[in-house]
Copies of this chain bind each other. A is one copy, B any other.
């Protein structure tokens, strides 16, 4: 097994089941199937289908944990093969990231002494997202006898199994179908009646053909199963294939049952191996786009691939009404909600590697803009106010109440006042356009989002007459330790940027296509007075700074808060709370949760000179607790951009190992998806030193930590694939199209399909 391409779990411990369910989740953008193992009942299974949301009795609308199509039970005579009941003689599972296949191999001894060896694999097809399949090869080591194969769909699933207060069942089982052979179960969500059908079919092949005999079909309440008998012979292995298919009423207006039957029949006709090969081929293409090769550091190589694998698995170009949740399709954490995490942390990866997916992610925002308009209207604002937490409609779905570090109930204000999401989205649109030059998107969708959020800002900012400036008071910035602050720089600066960019785009579209501009003005109710107001806002937006102008004050009054120097770090190099800090009064300190000013400077790097960035980096780095998985990777990039290389590798490794080491202690709830994007950014923007300058030109300033011999990756720059290989002494560049770029500040013109070597 190639350890650079595999995440391996050696040895079974049921206490780790939930963590591995996340780590071993298979997803294809359409659906995520948590990596529960068929041969243990302990854990928190999950079948999440992108876009299937429901509220019912839950606190807020959340992603639905749908009926579970995974169960495949094997009984030797009457003994269930269950890792928690049998003696486990050997056990290994591994995520084959190269091919997108979850593999396993184990041997158990039943209580009656029967030894069985099973190897299995499972994939969610990337070739046809409605298909998934599994294969089980079973070897009766020391017995002959009846083996029962039970294929089941479990409709008893609920959400929030790990959260007793919030357990909710989001669907009713509506129809159970005997496909004769094969089984299907159709459910319907409570609020909107979204219908979901899961179906499956098993075959068994041995030396003399079909092995499956004496089919028995049963319905047990909300569960359906078919059971087959296999006569197993000692030492003769046999194989069971399971073909699964999924449809929802989001996909089609047709009859789900018919569609499912057709899909399964077609799948059987194609065969397991054919679909698997097509799936692997898709993954090959994906890896060509996204892979980053690190030489000389196997842990970093495998760990980084783990992040890229799950990030790319979490989205696809086929659905413009869904985006990537904070925990992706890997768990119910954060209720399947979409945060700024997507645009700020994950989107750059897609922009630079799979721009068609980036477009679909941005289209999700466009398709939920009516919800954003409702938010603005409900809150007394104009235009579109995108929600801090977003589900299927763009309506704000942030829970109103949560718990503090002591478990006390606290009002969650982010959904009310963490406004920066609006410019995070427009920044994402800009970054997408800058990189892809996708004018169609900008003109038809991006522009409307720019202008309607500018309208929102226009209604939200407050004019301080006395000081002749615009302010935004009582907000939460990226650093959520400080709530209800005035003039958070990140918020103000990006609002200003977004309004300014809107004005530029107005100029541009007027010239490009005035008809479109006029249509938009009518649609959004804009006129010259609004544009004048925007001009004023972008001119006079207040940005708090230190007296010398170098140090940016995170928000008004921040410099006056009490400074608690961070002096100690844990074994992972992460800060330890300074003594005497009260965790329920962090707002009174200068300690911050995560990159805030630094984040701004990373996004709008070209607007801050290196000295300013360095000064601010040094200042805030000492005050950042990194209590968000979004933070370390950003500090690593900024550190590298200002020549502070000492923490970069440590922060990078911390980022890529977040889930693999479960170093936030909650990986069981789902993937730290933003962090996976941060890991990519850290590699490409940090070590790769990729940035875009004021002239919209690509810059490369690579730096290699001592642990590495090289790093190489592809990026898609305006339709050309640029291959960058950074080695100890040189950088090799090649491109599928002509590209002008700067390396270490020097201009290079790369000609199509030629290789350029730059000495380091």
Binding site for B on A (CB under 8 A): 14-15, 41-42, 57, 73, 75, 77-78, 80, 84-85, 111-112, 145-146, 148, 150, 155-156, 158, 162-165, 167-169, 172-173, 216, 218-223, 225, 227, 229, 407, 665
Contact across chains for A167 and B41 when beta carbons are under 8 A apart: no
Contact across chains for B164 and A78 when beta carbons are under 8 A apart: yes
Contact across chains for A78 and B222 when beta carbons are under 8 A apart: no
A156 to B165 CA separation, bound complex (whole angstroms)? 21
Contact across chains for B73 and A164 when beta carbons are under 8 A apart: yes
Residues of B within 8 A of A41 (CB): 41-42
Minimal beta-carbon separation of A584 from chain B (angstroms):
15
Minimal beta-carbon separation of A654 from chain B (angstroms):
21
- Kindly report which residue of chain B lies nearest to residue A409, judged by CB atoms: B146
User: Given A169-B220, A173-B221, does the pair A164, B148 have CB atoms closer than 8 Å?
Assistant: yes
Contact across chains for A156 and B78 when beta carbons are under 8 A apart: no
A520 to B112 CA separation, bound complex (whole angstroms)? 54
Q: A57 is contacted by which of B146, B218, B223 (Cβ under 8 Å)? A: B218
A276 to B145 CA separation, bound complex (whole angstroms)? 49
Residues of B within 8 A of A15 (CB): 85, 111
Contact across chains for A222 and B75 when beta carbons are under 8 A apart: no
- Kindly report which residue of chain B lies nearest to residue A149, judged by CB atoms: B164
- Kindly report which residue of chain B lies nearest to residue A162, judged by CB atoms: B78
Minimal beta-carbon separation of A194 from chain B (angstroms):
17
Residues of B within 8 A of A155 (CB): 221
- Kindly report which residue of chain B lies nearest to residue A169, judged by CB atoms: B220
Q: A85 is contacted by which of B14, B163, B216, B218 (Cβ under 8 Å)? A: B14
Residues of B within 8 A of A223 (CB): 156
A-B CB contact pairs (8 Å), 25 listed: A15-B85, A41-B41, A41-B42, A42-B42, A57-B218, A78-B162, A78-B164, A80-B162, A80-B164, A145-B407, A146-B407, A148-B164, A148-B165, A156-B221, A156-B223, A158-B220, A165-B216, A165-B227, A167-B225, A168-B218, A169-B218, A173-B221, A221-B221, A221-B222, A222-B222
- Kindly report which residue of chain B lies nearest to residue A148, judged by CB atoms: B164
Contact across chains for A218 and B145 when beta carbons are under 8 A apart: no
Contact across chains for B42 and A84 when beta carbons are under 8 A apart: yes
Q: A150 is contacted by which of B146, B164, B220 (Cβ under 8 Å)? A: B164
Residues of B within 8 A of A218 (CB): 57, 167-169
Minimal beta-carbon separation of A570 from chain B (angstroms):
16
A133 to B311 CA separation, bound complex (whole angstroms)? 51
A507 to B665 CA separation, bound complex (whole angstroms)? 85
* A-B complex: 6 closest residue pairs judged by Cβ atoms: A169-B220, A148-B164, A75-B164, A221-B222, A158-B220, A78-B163
Minimal beta-carbon separation of A500 from chain B (angstroms):
45
User: Given A15-B85, A84-B14, does the pair A156, B220 have CB atoms closer than 8 Å?
Assistant: yes
Contact across chains for A156 and B222 when beta carbons are under 8 A apart: yes
A41 to B161 CA separation, bound complex (whole angstroms)? 14
User: Given A221-B155, A227-B165, does the pair A85, B148 have CB atoms closer than 8 Å?
Assistant: no
A229 to B158 CA separation, bound complex (whole angstroms)? 20
Residues of B within 8 A of A169 (CB): 218-221
Minimal beta-carbon separation of A165 from chain B (angstroms):
6
Minimal beta-carbon separation of A114 from chain B (angstroms):
11
- Kindly report which residue of chain B lies nearest to residue A73, judged by CB atoms: B164
- Kindly report which residue of chain B lies nearest to residue A56, judged by CB atoms: B218
Further 15 A-B residue pairs, CB within 8 A, beyond A41-B41, A169-B221: A14-B85, A42-B84, A73-B164, A146-B407, A148-B165, A156-B220, A156-B223, A165-B216, A167-B225, A168-B220, A169-B218, A169-B219, A172-B221, A173-B221, A222-B222
A148 to B165 CA separation, bound complex (whole angstroms)? 8
Contact across chains for A227 and B148 when beta carbons are under 8 A apart: no
A629 to B42 CA separation, bound complex (whole angstroms)? 35
Minimal beta-carbon separation of A650 from chain B (angstroms):
26
Minimal beta-carbon separation of A80 from chain B (angstroms):
8
User: Given A41-B41, A42-B85, A148-B165, does the pair A77, B222 have CB atoms closer than 8 Å?
Assistant: no
Minimal beta-carbon separation of A233 from chain B (angstroms):
13
Minimal beta-carbon separation of A335 from chain B (angstroms):
14
Q: A156 is contacted by which of B80, B156, B172, B216 (Cβ under 8 Å)? A: B156
Residues of B within 8 A of A222 (CB): 156, 221-222
- Kindly report which residue of chain B lies nearest to residue A168, judged by CB atoms: B218
A163 to B78 CA separation, bound complex (whole angstroms)? 5
Residues of B within 8 A of A172 (CB): 221
Minimal beta-carbon separation of A351 from chain B (angstroms):
37
A57 to B222 CA separation, bound complex (whole angstroms)? 17
A172 to B222 CA separation, bound complex (whole angstroms)? 11
- Kindly report which residue of chain B lies nearest to residue A154, judged by CB atoms: B156
Contact across chains for A407 and B77 when beta carbons are under 8 A apart: yes
